[in-house]
Amino acid sequence: MWRMGPLGHTAISTVIGASVWAGTGSPLAGAVAVGVGVAVDIDHLVDYYQWWIRRKPNQILVLFHGWEYSIIGLLLLVFSYYHPIFLAAVAAHLGHVATDHFHNRLSPLGYFITYRAWVRFDAKKIAPGISPERSYKNLPSSFPLRPLWEPWYRRKIEPWIAARVESGPLEDGSYPQI
């Protein structure tokens, strides 16, 4: 599996949320930690759109993924602004990026957004040897209630994406119209 998905992030965020609740006494802060820890992955939708709808598979954006956000959040928490909800958001974001960093096989700097911007979000530099646009094959393993919808996904959605991803460019560099 190329990336840690919602199931894994939900489990880890729940542990972080329980810790935040215990540490701050705020159940709302605990809930925010769980929500933020899962919601960071919403930015994948932009990448999926680029790869599978616009057929531009050569970049990895994931704009919410970046150690920098966590570091800035921690600095603010320590030096200028403390609030239990803000603590929850920073802890959940840090937990998410750390989990992805150690679980997913990107380059060592891949989870720094400044690095990704520096290399112009070039997928070959950020995820060497991986074809992230082919992650549609593993997508069902990342989501819950798989038996309910996976057959439909395999029948209707996967072939459609596969045709767009796998056909490749024509000799003049353009893509065949489907």
Contact positions vs Zn ion (CB under 5 A): 41, 100
**Nearest approach, Cβ of 48 to Zn ion (angstroms)?**
13
Look up residue 3 and give its amino acid.
R
**Nearest approach, Cβ of 104 to Zn ion (angstroms)?**
8
**Nearest approach, Cβ of 108 to Zn ion (angstroms)?**
17
Bridge partners, 59 (sequence order): 122
Q: Which is nearer to Zn ion, 51 or 164 (CB)?
A: 51
Q: Which is nearer to Zn ion, 84 or 106 (CB)?
A: 106
**Nearest approach, Cβ of 44 to Zn ion (angstroms)?**
7
What is the rounded CA–CA span in Å between residue 106 and residue 160? 27
**Nearest approach, Cβ of 47 to Zn ion (angstroms)?**
11
Please identify the residue of the shown chain whose CB is closest to the bound Zn ion.
100
Q: Which is nearer to Zn ion, 93 or 164 (CB)?
A: 93
Q: Which is nearer to Zn ion, 32 or 100 (CB)?
A: 100
Q: Under 8 Å CB-to-CB from 142, ≥6 apart: which residues? A: 1, 3, 4, 5, 6, 7, 8
Q: Which is nearer to Zn ion, 100 or 133 (CB)?
A: 100
